[in-house]
């Protein structure tokens, strides 16, 4: 049974561990450097207004995923940007669905009209995930230079609330 809640301070190291495994595996996130729990604490502490963070925990309260939305300067004020991370090997088990339901509700309550997802074009799992939530393609960013110098294309997807 997956439960979704707001993150607490004790979650930050576990969230960092989950995210670092994804970064190390490569191919699915634009993040290229490892993070620490303190980094996540800082991201949340200094997150822009109208941001929302959620964690998914299993029956033992172990972090199995997290998601956030926040405004993005390249988007209009009625749109939020989304990021989703699910523990490697745990995809397809309803974690992303549970996270998105909480995030969707939060986005509506924060006054957003739509949610934007920027997904690496080579991230098949991410593209499938967002498509299965109802996100629709609306654009593409070609030759995006990541922090490590790698060049990738990104697919832009939109979910109307």
Reported confidence tier of residue 125, pLDDT bands at 50, 70, 90: confident
Q: Does the pLDDT of residue 128 top 80, yes or no?
A: yes
pLDDT in tens, 90-106: 777 789 999 999 999 99
pLDDT in tens, 11-64: 999 999 999 998 887 666 767 678 889 999 999 988 999 999 999 999 999 999
89 burial (CB, 10 Å; 0-12 / 13-18 / 19+) is exposed
Q: Which residues contact 103 (CB under 8 A, 6 or more apart)?
A: 52, 54, 67, 68, 69, 82, 115
Three-class HEC string of 105-161: HHHHHCCCCEEEEEEECCCHHHHHHHHHHCCEEEEEEEEEECCCCCEEEEEEEEEEC
- Cα–Cα distance for residue pair 42/38, rounded to 1 Å: 6
pLDDT of residue 28: 67
pLDDT of residue 148: 78
What domains lie within the chain, and their CATH numbers?
A: 3-160 (3.40.630.30)
pLDDT of residue 88: 84
End-to-end, the C-alpha distance of the chain in Å comes to: 26
Looking at per-residue confidence, does 57 or 146 come out higher?
Answer: 57
Listed residue (139, 140, 141, 133) closest to 159, CA to CA: 133
| Long-range pairs for 143-146: beta carbons < 8 A, 24 or more residues apart | 144/30, 146/30, 146/32
Q: Model-level pTM?
A: 0.91
CA atoms within 13 A on the CB side of 84: 29
Q: What is the mean pLDDT of residues 80-84?
A: 96
């Amino acid at each position: 049974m997956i439960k979704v809640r707001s993150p607490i301070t004790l979650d930050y190291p576990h969230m960092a561990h989950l995210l670092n495994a994804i970064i190390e595996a490569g191919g699915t996130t634009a993040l290229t450097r490892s993070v620490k729990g303190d980094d996540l604490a800082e991201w949340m502490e200094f997150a822009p207004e109208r941001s929302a963070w959620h964690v998914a925990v299993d029956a033992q309260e172990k972090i199995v995923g997290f998601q956030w939305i926040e405004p993005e300067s390249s988007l209009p004020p009625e749109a939020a940007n989304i990021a989703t991370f699910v523990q490697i090997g745990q995809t397809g088990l309803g974690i992303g669905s549970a996270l998105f339901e909480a995030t969707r509700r939060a986005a509506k309550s924060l006054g957003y009209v739509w949610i934007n997802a920027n997904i690496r074009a080579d991230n098949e799992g991410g593209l499938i995930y967002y498509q299965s939530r109802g996100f629709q393609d609306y654009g593409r960013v070609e030759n995006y230079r990541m922090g490590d110098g790698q060049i990738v294309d990104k697919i832009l997807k939109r979910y109307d609330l």
